[in-house]
Amino acid sequence: MFWTLLLAHFIADYPLQFPWIIRSKRTLRGLSAHVAIHLAVMGLLASPSLAQVWPQLLVIAAVHFGIDVGKNTVMGWRPRWVVRSYLVDQALHILVLWLVCAWIGQRAPAATPLLSVSLATLLSGYLLATYIWFISERIFAHQNEPYVQEITHYATGRMVTRGLLLTLFLGLAGLIFSPATVLARNILPPHTSGLALAATLPYFRATFGRRAAITDTLVAFVLACGVTAVWLFGA
C-alpha cells in the first residue's frame, strides 16, 4: 500500500497542484482544495480496499493539512528557508505515509491497492524524473536566477531526456537483474539511444548545459537504482 499511496502523494502534490492552488494555499479555501485533491487521488488508487482503509486515508489528509499549515507559518517567519522548508515538508509527508501504512498493515492486512508495487514504483520513478525534478531543481537553485530561467526555458526537452535516460537505465538493469525487471525490458522502446541523442540538443544551446546534462544523468541513474531496488527487494 505504501508505494501506491506515495504515488498518490506525488500526483496530488505536483501535477495536480495547480497554479491557482499554489497562489491560494495560504487561505483556507486553497489549502482545503489541495488536501481534497490528495484525498481523492488516494481514494482512487486505494479503491479496491477503500471500505477498509478510508479512516487511515482521512488521517493522512488531516495530517497533510496540518503539515502545510505549519510550512506556511514557518515560511512567514523565515521566508529565506525555501529549500529547508521544502525538504522538511516532503520528508514529513512521506514519514506520515509510512507510519499510516504500517497501521493499515496491522488493521487491514488484506488491503490491496489498485496498482501493483512494480507499476506504482515505475510510475513514481517517471514522475520524479520528469515533472517533480523540474519543480525541485527550481527550488534548489532559487538563488541562481539565470539557471532557474534556463530550467524553465528548457523544461520540456530536459524532462523528455530524463525520462528517456531513466528508460535506458532501467533497460540496462533488466539485463543484469532479469528476475525482477522483465517489465524494464518491455518498456525500453526501439531507437531509445537516437531519441536520447536528439533530446540532448538543449544542453548544447544552454549556458549551463554541462551542469544540466550531468544533473539529469545523475537523477535518472539514481532513480533507476531506486526503482530496481524496490522491484528486487520491496515487492
Q: What is the pLDDT of residues 82-121, one digit of tens each?
A: 999 999 999 999 999 999 999 998 988 888 899 999 899 9
What residue segments make up the domains of the chain, in order of their start?
Answer: 2-114, 118-234
| b/e 9-25 (16+ beta carbons within 10 angstroms → b) | bbbbbbeebeeeeeebb
Report d(CA 75, CA 81) in Å as an integer.
Answer: 7
Q: Which of 117, 93, 205 is nearest to 158 (CA)?
A: 205
Quick one: angle between helices 2-13 and 82-107, nearest 10? 140
DSSP label at residue 47:
G
Quick one: angle between helices 117-127 and 2-13, nearest 10? 30
Q: Which of 118, 128, 115 is nearest to 179 (CA)?
A: 118
Q: Which of 92, 118, 115, 125 is nearest to 177 (CA)?
A: 118
CA angle 218, 203, 152 (to 5 degrees): 85
Report residues of the chain scoring pLDDT below 50: 179-182, 184-185, 190
| pLDDT given at position 181 | 47
Please, which residues have CB within 8 angstroms of residue 100's CB and are 6 or more apart in sequence? 5, 56, 59, 60
Question: Residue 233 is placed in which grid cell?
Answer: 527487494
Distance of CA 95 to the CA centre of its chain: 15
Type of residue at 145 = E
Q: Which of 161, 152, 226 is nearest to 192 (CA)?
A: 161
